[in-house]
Amino acid sequence: MAGKEELERRQWLVRLGRRVILGAISILSLNLLVRRLNGGCIRPESPCKSCGVFTHCGLPRAEESRQSQDERST
C-alpha cells in the first residue's frame, strides 16, 4: 500500500512541475507578445515623450513621436 501512495505522490509532483513550467512559459510568451504590441518599448505605461531615453531611442514609436513633435514646432 505504501508503494501506491508513493507513486501517486510522485505523479502529483510531476504533474505540478509540468503545470508550473507551462505557466511560466505562458507568462513569458504573453510578456513577449505585449512587448511586441508596444513596439518593443520596455515602459509601455509611459509615453515616449516623457521617457528618459527619448532623444536616443531607436524604436519606431519614438521616431514617430520625434517627427510629429518636429512638425508641430515648425
List, for residues 18-40, the tens digit of each pLDDT value: 999 999 999 999 988 887 776 66
Same domain as 33, residue 6: yes
Burial of 34 (0-12, 13-18, 19+ CB in 10 A): exposed
CB 40 within 8 A of CB 59: yes
* Total structural domains within the chain: 2
DSSP-based three-state secondary structure for 47: coil
CB 27 within 8 A of CB 6: no
pTM: 0.51
Task: For the chain, give the percent of residues with pLDDT over 70.
Answer: 66
Domain containing residue 18: 1-37
Same domain as 52, residue 22: no
Please state the rounded mean pLDDT for residues 2-10.
78
For the record, the C-alpha cell of 21 comes out as 513550467
Same domain as 33, residue 3: yes
Please state the rounded mean pLDDT for residues 46-60.
69
CA 34, CA 45: separation in Å to the nearest integer?
12
Among 24-28, 31-35, 53-57, 70-74, the least confident range: 70-74
Same domain as 30, residue 3: yes
